[in-house]
Amino acid sequence: MADQSSGQKVWRVGVAGLGTVGGGLLSFLAECPDFAPAGGRAVVTGICARSRSRARTVDTAAMTWFDDPVALAKSPDNDIFVELIGGSDGPAKAAVEAALALGKPVVTANKALIATHGAELAKLAEANGAPLLFEAAVMGGTPAVKILRESLVGEDVVSVSGILNGTCNYILTEMETKGSSFADVLAEAQRLGYAEADPSTDVGGFDAAHKITILAALAFGGAPNFAAAEIEGVDQVELEDIKLAHDLGYRIRLVASAVREGSGVAVRVHPALAPFGHPLAETRGALNALFIEGRRIGRIFIQGPGAGAGPTAAAVAADIADVMTLAKRPVFQSPASTLVPEPAISAADRISRVFIRLKVKDQPGVIAAVSETLAEAGVSIDGFLQKPSQGEGAVPIVLTTHATAESVVLEAVERIARLPAMLERPKLLRIARV
Ligand code: HSE
């Protein structure tokens, strides 16, 4: 549609979901009316949210209200549909499908939707000639999606790994700096509005897994395969782990990684130790960070905000700009009709260095028995630390190993768990490979 006064093309935008990111987008477009990457203008004409009566930071009087996101997606009164509802299924998926089926460009920040249904949505988008863009789904305002899909399309990427959940990184950083428990830090983060009321998606590692699944598809040219991701969250990380890792020169981070190994891809999320001075160890608070490793280009490291109204709205706006400039690319790296999931690689074959935390009885021969068990399995100890007895004869011990097949270490740890001097189940954390 052309603006009568200026003759400029006006792109009419329908926005479903007016939470942090949707509110941020409305503010962005209100503050930057000249946002005109292709000489046209973007104007929000229709909105939809859970609560119509909630106060908004932007005057929405000129925007048409929709109770139903699918009706907004189908409305002929908008040219671009922006989905900021969230959730892998339900109204978000139905609305995105409705827009794409009509050939309407879709911009979304919904990582769960793309990680779970990305391949089928890409087919629908490409069959109908509609862009489906999701820069804001991964690392919020820090570019990652376009870097892999566009800037590195000529590169042979071998791994992507990093910190993709700000809530978990904030919790781990606060536990370390304040010496507080996981539960106390989480409660404080919720009080301050940093963590969701239901934090399970973040602390359970699922949010980071959605994001690394998307990056894996973009990096390796396959279809997103969320079902194959191996996921551990930060909810099992205790203050004792953080303190003892610190004593050995490490910080604990929730690391998401996707690595091409032979004919397949290993996608996983788990707490991991990064040595002091390493960029992941030095990524603090709610920041995100990502390493991309390519055969020709070597290593790239990016770090920045992974959430927040302003940064994430800027990423949504960048996708709107792609629609306005008529940028045309496959949704992932290759045409959707050719996308298949990469074969998943079993964790048992992976080679890792690990950190093992034990609580043992303070009696002769215990350390000898532990090191003998490891030696029999062919696991070589790299670092070792024994703390003074904590009363009642309980002694904390931590050790780090040299690189070994994970299946071998896990078996050795099972044998250690059965030693009579063990007071608790051994705790095992991996050391980051990047
Ligand atoms: N909840 C996410 C995080 C931000 O804490 O990083 C949105 O993906």
HSE of 85, CA atoms in CB hemisphere, 13 A: 28
Helix %, strand %, coil % of the chain (to 5): 35, 25, 40
Given the structure tokens 């292709």, which residue do they identify? 38
Residue 1: its pLDDT value, please? Answer: 62
- Residue 159: φ, ψ to 5°: -160, 150
Q: Structurally, what CATH architecture does the domain formed by 144-305 represent?
A: 2-Layer Sandwich (3.30)
User: 165 in ligand 1 pocket by Cβ < 6 Å?
Assistant: yes
Q: Relative to the CA of 137, which ligand 1 atom is closest? A: 8
User: Which residue lies with its CA nearest to atom 7 of ligand 1?
Assistant: 307
pLDDT of residue 154: 93
Does ligand 1 come within 6 angstroms of the Cβ of 287?
Answer: no
CA distance 322 to 186: 38
The strand pair at 427-431 and 264-275 is best described as: parallel
Q: How many residues does the chain have?
A: 434
Domain ranges of the chain: 2-137, 144-305, 348-431
Q: Tell me whether residue 146 is one of the annotated catalytic residues.
A: no
Mutate which of 20, 135, 142, 165 for ligand 1 pocket (most atoms within 8 A of beta carbon): 165
> Relative to the CA of 194, which ligand 1 atom is closest?
5
Is 207 touching ligand 1 by the criterion CB < 6 Å?
yes
Mutate to test the pocket of ligand 1, among 202, 234, 284 (most ligand atoms within 8 A of CB): 202
- Whether 410 contacts 333, CB under 8 Å: no
pLDDT computed for residue 5 by the predictor: 58
- Residue tagged active-site, from 74, 93, 146, 211: 211
pLDDT of residue 234: 96
Beta bridge partners of 191: none
What b/e string do you get for 84-118 counting C-beta neighbours within 10 Å, with b at 16 or more? bbbebeebbbebbbbbbeeebbbbbbbbbbbbbbb
In ligand 1, the atom with minimum distance to the C-alpha of 111 is 8
Quote the pLDDT of residue 195. Answer: 75
| Other residues' Cβ atoms within 10 Å of the Cβ of residue 281 | 18
How far away, in angstroms, is 169 Cα from ligand 1 center?
Answer: 10
What is the arrangement of strands in the sheet containing 10-16, beginning at the earlier edge strand?
Answer: 64-65, 41-48, 10-16, 80-83, 106-108, 132-133
CA of 204 relative to ligand 1 center, distance in Å: 12
* Fold adopted by 348-431: Alpha-Beta Plaits (3.30.70)
Q: How far is the CA of 107 from the centre of ligand 1 (A)?
A: 18
Assess whether the C-beta atom of 307 lies below 6 angstroms from ligand 1. yes
Q: From first to last of its 434 residues, what are the pLDDT tens digits of the chain?
A: 655 556 678 999 999 999 999 999 999 999 988 887 878 899 999 999 999 889 888 999 999 999 999 999 999 999 999 999 999 999 999 999 999 999 999 999 999 999 999 999 999 999 999 999 999 999 999 999 999 999 999 999 999 999 999 999 999 999 999 999 999 999 988 887 777 778 999 999 999 999 999 999 999 999 999 999 999 999 999 999 999 999 999 999 999 999 998 888 999 999 999 999 999 999 999 999 999 999 999 999 999 999 889 999 999 999 999 999 988 899 998 899 999 988 888 766 788 899 999 999 999 999 999 999 999 999 999 999 998 887 778 999 999 999 999 899 999 999 999 999 999 999 999 999 86
The residue contributing the CA closest to ligand 1 atom 4 is 307
Report the nearest atom of ligand 1 relative to the CA of 166.
6
Pocket test for ligand 1, best of 163, 164, 167, 234 (most atoms within 8 A of CB): 167
Residues 240, 293: Cα–Cα separation, whole Å = 33
Question: Closest ligand 1 atom to the C-alpha of 196?
Answer: 1
What pLDDT is stored for residue 395 in this prediction?
92
What does the pLDDT read at residue 255?
98
For residue 252, give the nearest of 199, 177, 142 by alpha carbon: 177
Output the CA 86–ligand 1 centroid distance in Å.
12
* 208 alpha carbon – ligand 1 mean position (Å): 8
Distance 349 CA to ligand 1 centre (A): 31
Å from CA of 284 to ligand 1 middle: 14
- In this prediction, residue 2 carries a pLDDT of 53
Ligand 1 binding pocket includes 167 (Cβ within 6 Å): yes
Q: What is 2-137's CATH number, 3.30.365.10, 3.40.50.2300, 3.90.170.10, 3.40.50.720?
A: 3.40.50.720
Residue 306 CB–ligand 1 contact under 6 Å: yes
Nearest Cα residue to atom 2 of ligand 1:
165
Kindly give the distance from the C-alpha atom of residue 110 to the centroid of ligand 1, in angstroms, as a whole number: 11
The answer to whether the CB of 202 is under 6 A from ligand 1 is yes
Looking at residue 387, what is its pLDDT?
A: 86
Give the pLDDT score at 7: 64
**Residue 385 C-alpha to ligand 1 middle, in angstroms?**
35
Residue 184 exposed, middle or buried by CB count within 10 Å (0-12, 13-18, 19+): middle
Atom of ligand 1 nearest to the CA of 306: 6
